[in-house]
Structure 1
Amino acid sequence: MPPRHSILKLINNQRKTENKQNKRGSEKNTMGNPFKEPPSLTKKLFPYILYALLPIALIRLYFYPIPISLSSSNQIPQNTPTLTTTAAASSSVSPPSTEDERESAKITCDYSNGKWVPDKLGPLYNDTSCGTIKEGRNCMSHGRPDLGYLFWRWSPKQCNIPRFDPQIFLKLLKNKHLAFVGDSMARNQLESLLCMISSAFSPELVYSTGEDNKFRRWHFPSHNVNVSIYWSPFLVNGTEKTEEKNYNTLHLESIDERWASELDQIDMVVLSIGHWFLLPAVYMYGDEVLGCHFCAGQNYTEIEFYDVFGKAIKTTLDTIIERRRGGKGIDVIVTTFSPHHFEGEWDKFGACPKTEPFKEEEKKLEGMDAEMRKAELKEVKAIRDGDKKHAKLRLEALDVTKLALMRPDGHPGPYLYANPFANGIGDRVQNDCVHWCLPGPIDSWNEILLDVMVRWAGQPRREG
């Protein structure tokens, strides 16, 4: 059952025991002193009032944790709320036990249908409380002067997303291995998650290899949970461009074994790719060249990358299912395409200048962003609605494309590097309008991820 019910059950059991003890003690005292005055009504009611208020207080603490102060490395503008963190205090997480609870867990939520609303609490962590933030995402430490982008939360119309609880997250993954697989956006989401969990539990880096530490693993000994990142910008087998060959080569029929070879050790996988498919590439299926994208001088047929992108997702999902058939279950999350917000050239001062989210009427999901999202959702739906036998699979699209589209204010921009305007504003400055500041909007991706996991806890796996 969910953590709040576990807490209430524990309190009710304790209440029954104490009531019996109080009753026996009262009878004993009355027999020993028949002339003793009976206790007042206030004294009788006080324990019951206390027991009634305690669960309310616990539920209140779960949804609205106690705030602490912001890192001293940044000044907060007047009238701006203070950043917060929390030390989670939740009980064990079990599948819903009553009929009403089971029905509630089955209710779906369209997370993409909602809006960004002001949030006085702010993020769970800051620029100094988490040691896993990639330098280029640490906007606060790099001198970004405005902090308003930190005080928004995503509010779906169909459901309420609770504040992220590190203890519930780790309890759901106890004795399991979670892997993020993909490009730098997968890394961005991973580092956000590690920082959110670190507000209550510290991870131990237990493995690191590859250029720029592209393959890493952390361990949370309190719950025996492993969290890994695997660099695989295409998911399928691919060769990245070099100085001699200025295009990528993708083999769409086979999966990237740098991560897939460890599938039998993974209990939950988050797949996140997209932006590398916009680069020049030659596409192959076996020994056959299907075509290419922006590969001038190669004498190959130019083809759009949307179908290729979808094919890479399909090959990945089919391979996961095939390799886990008959074995233990696996949970798969496909994080949909996260749009960039370049307004003009990447090295101009105003490349992504917004400081607030778009309003719904200001921005529509269309063009390339819509097509990339469509390709991913199509393949997820085909698997979920398919009639062929599957492994014990739970599959969900983490549909964040619209959420991301509405947040042009959440990128590092010129604060990709520390204090870019220390010597004044120059003609050119490198901007990052693709990745997300940490803390920042991408923290909401992981709040949705946890909500999906809580709903999964009350649903059986598909048998295969």
Structure 2
Amino acid sequence: MASATQIAPKERGLRCCSNIRSMLWLLLAALLIAVVCIHRESKRWIDHNDDDDDQTAKSSLSNCNLFSGKWVYDDNSHPLYREQTCSFKFDGLACERSGRKNLRYQHWRWQPNACDLPRFNAMKMVESLRNKRFLFVGDSLTRSQWASMACLLESPIPSGQKSVYPDGSLAVFKMKIKLMKGYNATVEHYWAPYLVESSSDHPIIHSVKSEQIVRVKAIEKHGKHWRDADILVFNTFLWWRSRTKFKVLWGSFKSPNKVYEEIEMHRAVEMALDTWSDWLETHVNPSKTKIYWVSMSPTHERGEEWGRPRGETCYNETEPIWIEGYQGSESDPRIMQLVEAAIDRLGRKGLKVQLINITQLSEYRKDAHTSINRKYWGNLTEEQLADPRSYADCVHWCVPGLPDVWNELLYAYIFHF
């Protein structure tokens, strides 16, 4: 009996410990269940708020002219990425790598007058591109916007799941950016400076200074590569402004009996836009494909127009132009009118093309050109080297820089309009 009496307290102690452990496990399980429930509710609340934010943004933006506003210096939110962190190295656009020291041009944010631009969400854009083609069509300025989009989108993508490469037999026409394994998403640029067929269709072997021959009624050679795109972004302007008249070819380049006609530039543009419009109407499914047109990109080669001595250019410019409503003489409102007329005609036929009007906001940015901070193809003469103004590129733009803002506007229209 004595031994039994001595053991009983031990048993009671063991049972007590066992009960405490059981209670602790139950409390832990309850805590885990609570955490999971809170997480799920939180996610539902966040997702709901995201939807609410999207609806609020859509409501706000629908009554706002995104293209009317001002430039605000913002070194907290801009640039949206760093040149060094973008794994895609585009020669001719990387101004910092090419020696530019003053980087203020990277920190300007476009502020619309009546609303705020939505913050560019790279992961949201990548997710939306799953199993889709995002295609930019145009010249080297369009390629700058494509390069900017590549750098913007790659930030959330793990190393090894993105690449830039020529597209097989179409290497002379198209470059692809492959985004994330399993996503089957591509962002592409297709070289077509006039949209229609021309003597400058090779993206490397061409020169705007050479004779330009345009087939204003022929587009299928290019268009057959655009047909299955889910997002199409078009632009043409720079090459048209190179001359007042164009040599138009009726018939094929391969035909032994070629017929040429010299046509005034604006008439040639109008005919090319008619051909482009007819192609879209015939080949694009408006329920599948979103279509955007980016307006003309201005140049800054006449410093006297913003108060500099005659002969000055964008060379060494470090600030935007602060003349409200400034428009340089090198832009061409007539081309813009022709584009708007073509878009209106398509709209009346049930095919929506959204105009991204980057012209006025870009007019102010004399500071954002590549100037002398770019890779030059060919050797510069001693005379040119002695006067940097003579070879400063006041047509193209540094990346990161102004093309990122074009893509912020494009992003706003893709998701909120």
| TM-score, normalised via structure 1 length | 0.65
Answer yes or no: is the 8 Å Cα contact 2:246–2:262 preserved in 1. no
Which residue number in structure 1 is paired with residue 98 of structure 2? 142
Equivalent position amino acid for 2:179 in 1:
F
Matches within 5 A, 1:281-430: 282-284=246-248, 286=250, 303=264, 305-324=265-284, 329-343=288-302, 350-361=313-324, 363-364=326-327, 368-384=331-347, 386=348, 388=349, 390=350, 393-417=351-375, 426-428=386-388, 430=391
Which residue number in structure 2 is paired with residue 248 of structure 1? 212
Answer yes or no: is the 8 Å Cα contact 1:179–1:229 preserved in 2. yes
| Secondary structure of 1:137's aligned partner | coil
Which residue number in structure 1 is paired with residue 26 of structure 2? none
Between the aligned partners of 1:151 and 1:177, the Cα distance in structure 2 is 30
Between the aligned partners of 2:61 and 2:274, the Cα distance in structure 1 is 26
2:67 maps to 1:112: yes
Q: What per-residue deviation string (whole Å, max 9, x for no partner) do you get for residues 380-418 of structure 1?
A: 12222x1x3x4xx44201110111111000011011249
Percent identity over the alignment is 24
Which residue number in structure 1 is paired with residue 226 of structure 2? 263
Q: How many residues align?
A: 350
Deviation for aligned residue 1:102: 10
Q: What per-residue deviation string (whole Å, max 9, x for no partner) do you get for residues 4-51 of structure 1?
A: xxxxxxxxxxxxxxxxxxxxxxxxxxxx9xxxxxxxxxxxxxx9xx99
2:147 maps to 1:191: yes
2:163 maps to 1:204: yes
Answer yes or no: is the 8 Å Cα contact 2:61–2:115 preserved in 1. no
Between the aligned partners of 1:97 and 1:361, the Cα distance in structure 2 is 35
Q: Of 158, 163, 188, which residue of structure 2 is paired with 1:228?
A: 188
Which residue number in structure 2 is paired with residue 68 of structure 1? none
Answer yes or no: is the 8 Å Cα contact 1:248–1:279 preserved in 2. no
Residues 316-325 or 358-367, more deviating? 358-367
Answer yes or no: is the 8 Å Cα contact 1:193–1:446 preserved in 2. yes
Structure with the largest fraction of helix: 2
Deviation for aligned residue 1:349: 7.8
Deviation for aligned residue 1:127: 2.2
| TM-score, normalised via structure 2 length | 0.72
Give the 3 Å change call, closer, same or farther, for CA 363–353 of structure 1 in structure 2.
Answer: farther
Between the aligned partners of 2:135 and 2:191, the Cα distance in structure 1 is 11
Which residue number in structure 2 is paired with residue 27 of structure 1? none
Q: What per-residue deviation string (whole Å, max 9, x for no partner) do you get for residues 403-451 of structure 1?
A: 1111000011011249x9xxx9723552111111011111000011111
Between the aligned partners of 1:439 and 1:221, the Cα distance in structure 2 is 22
| Secondary structure of 1:227's aligned partner | strand
Equivalent position amino acid for 1:337 in 2:
M
Please, which runs of 5 or more residues in structure 1 have no aligned partner? 1-31, 33-46, 60-90, 289-297, 457-464
Max Rg structure: 2
Deviation for aligned residue 1:106: 8.1
Deviation for aligned residue 1:331: 0.9
Give the 3 Å change call, closer, same or farther, for CA 108–334 of structure 1 in structure 2.
Answer: farther
| Secondary structure of 1:435's aligned partner | strand
Equivalent position amino acid for 1:128 in 2:
Q
Which residue number in structure 2 is paired with residue 272 of structure 1? 235
Between the aligned partners of 1:92 and 1:173, the Cα distance in structure 2 is 22
Deviation for aligned residue 1:376: 1.9
Give the 3 Å change call, closer, same or farther, for CA 344–451 of structure 1 in structure 2.
Answer: closer
Equivalent position amino acid for 2:402 in 1:
P
Give the 3 Å change call, closer, same or farther, for CA 363–99 of structure 1 in structure 2.
Answer: closer
Please, which runs of 5 or more residues in structure 2 have no aligned partner? 1-22, 24-34, 253-258, 305-310
Deviation for aligned residue 1:271: 0.6
2:179 maps to 1:216: no
